[in-house]
Amino acid sequence: MPVSLVSLTDLAALDFDEILDVRSPAEYAEDHIPGAISLPVLSNEERARVGTIYTRQSPFLARKIGAAIVARNAAMHIETALADKPKGYRPLVYCWRGGQRSGAFALILSQIGWRAETIEGGWRSYRRLVQEALYGSPWPAPVVLLDGNTGTAKTEILGLLRAAGGQVLDLEGLANHRGSLFGAMPGGQPAQKGFETALAMARAALDPLRPVVIEAESSRIGHLNLPRGLWEAMKAAPRLELSVPLAARAAYLARRYRDVTDDPARLLATIDGLAPQHPRARIEAWRALAAEGAFEALAAGLMADHYDPRYGRQRARFEDRPTRRVTLDGLDPGALASSLPGLMAEIDALARL
């Protein structure tokens, strides 16, 4: 009997060895149940071919051709990815809507003797749970925003807070993006649906009785949009604002963005992307600093003339929110570690407001 999911936390309580996603690689890449292994029974091209035959020629012919392809791919998976599975192996199998692909594969596995089951409604049923969590329910825990201009080590501080037992939501980590024009990360960003799945799972793990610390962001990180409910909770939240001297921030950014500065073509292209917003002489000055390898000076110039003014304008929209300010003189590991107890005390004070 297919397994019915009623909450995002159901999967963790189920007694299965693995979750197998038998959709096409493109479907898996866009979004999948966390931890699922991709074992497609139809490739991207095969799925497109069967779909075209179904709509343009004959549903019967499409099902016959599709069954043959599924059988061949199932045999390949059994001989490779599943070859070492023991007699008591128990997989949970799903496709897009819990229909023919997952049913066919689970039947074959069951004939071997494995206890294979499917998810009722497939990925679509899981996706509905994600959407309900993010778009149909209020944000579950009180939010405290970690604010501050570019280069104040907010993301690193989030990691220190988590290691110290704090409740943290790292949106930039989930989005695989550092939240600025220079912020692209290796591997690129997930699709919007994949980001939402990761966010919904992080949300489900929150303790509603404890504050969750989130870095102050715009409603968009790279090409990904934050759900409205989360964004509204962030806008209404009290803020811990970090103040750090420009020189210390510039030195920190020169270290943190070494992947950008090690790629001169990418660095110059990103600077050129700012041209519509700045005088030509300023862009040329930034380009010259990049060419000289004067990365701290470049970071200082970008912050003074581009990022800080924009942060200031955005922050002014939330001046009525409760705010506590902390000054950090340096951002080296030792300075950050020594500042942690004070930061945690300020967060606790904001959470009680």
Which tens digits make up the pLDDT trace of 56-94? 999 999 999 999 999 999 999 999 999 999 999 999 999
- Could you tell me the pLDDT band of residue 95, with boundaries at 50, 70 and 90? very high
- Mean pLDDT score, 98-117: 94
Q: What is the pLDDT of residue 99?
A: 83
Over the chain, what HEC string results? CCECCCCCCHHHHCCCCEEEECCCHHHHHHCCCCCCEECCCCCHHHHHHHHHHHHHCCHHHHHHHHHHHHHHHHHHHHHCCCCCCCCCCCEEEECCCCCHHHHHHHHHHHHHCCCCEEECCHHHHHHHHHHHHHHCCCCCCCEEEEEECCCCCHHHHHHHHHHCCCCEECHHHHHCECCCCCCECCCCCCCHHHHHHHHHHHHHCCCCCCCEEEECCCCEECCEECCHHHHHHHHHCCEEEEECCHHHHHHHHHHHCHHHHCCHHHHHHHHHCCHHHCCHHHHHHHHHHHHHCCHHHHHHHHHHHHHHHHHHHHHHCCCCCCEEEEECCCCCHHHHHHHHHHHHHHHHHHHCC
Which residue is listed with tokens 């604002």?
241
User: Would you say residue 98 has pLDDT above 80?
Assistant: no
Provide the whole-model pTM: 0.93
Dihedral sign from CA coordinates of 110, 115, 120, 123: negative
Structural domains in the chain, sorted by start: 10-133 (3.40.250.10), 139-351 (3.40.50)
Q: Quick one: pLDDT at residue 314?
A: 86
Query: Mean pLDDT over all residues of the chain?
Result: 96
Q: Do the beta carbons of residue 338 and residue 155 sit within 8 Å?
A: no
**Dmax of the chain from CA atoms?**
72
Lowest mean pLDDT among 113-127, 272-286, 313-327: 313-327
The bridge status of strand 220-221 relative to strand 224-225 is: antiparallel
Radius of gyration of the chain (CA): 25
Q: What is the pLDDT of residue 34?
A: 96
Q: Measure the CA angle with vertex 213, ends 304 and 140; round to 5°.
A: 135
Query: What band does 1 get if pLDDT is binned at 50, 70 and 90?
Result: confident
Residue 220 scores a pLDDT above 90? yes
pLDDT at residue 179, as a whole number: 87
pLDDT of residue 17: 97
Q: Report yes or no: 117 and 14 within 8 Å, Cβ to Cβ.
A: no
Q: Which pLDDT does position 181 carry in this prediction? A: 86
Which of 3, 8, 95, 290 is an active site residue? 95
Q: Which of 223, 227, 226, 225 is nearest to 184 (CA)?
A: 223
User: Is the Cβ–Cβ distance between 153 and 335 less than 8 Å?
Assistant: no
315 has a pLDDT exceeding 90: no
* Residues 6 or more apart in contact with residue 102 via CB below 8 angstroms: 22, 93, 94, 95, 118, 119, 122
Residue 321 vs residues 183, 210, 238, 312, 350: alpha-carbon distances, Å? 28, 19, 6, 15, 11
Would you state the pLDDT for residue 136?
96
Mean pLDDT within 184-212:
96
- Report pLDDT for 316: 85
Residue 82 CB neighbour total at 10 angstroms: 19
* CB within 8 Å of 137: residues ≥ 6 apart: 229
Q: Which residue has the tokens 């210390």?
A: 248
The structure tokens listed for 58 are: 């004959």
pLDDT at 211 over 90: yes
pLDDT at 318: 86
Q: Name the packing angle between helices 280-292 and 264-272 (round to 10°).
A: 170
pLDDT at residue 245 in the model: 97
- Is 95 noted as a catalytic residue in this protein? yes
pLDDT of 170 strictly over 80: yes
- Which residue has 């490779």 as its token pair? 80
Question: Over the range 148-165, which residues count as b (16 or more CB within 10 Å of their CB) and which as e?
Answer: bbbbbbbbebbebbeeee
Query: In the prediction, which pLDDT does 353 show?
Result: 83
pLDDT the model gives residue 188? 95
Q: What is the pLDDT averaged over residues 133-148? A: 96
Residue type, 146: L
Q: Give the pLDDT confidence score for residue 322 in this predicted structure.
A: 92
Q: Tens digits of per-residue pLDDT, 237-246?
A: 999 999 999 9
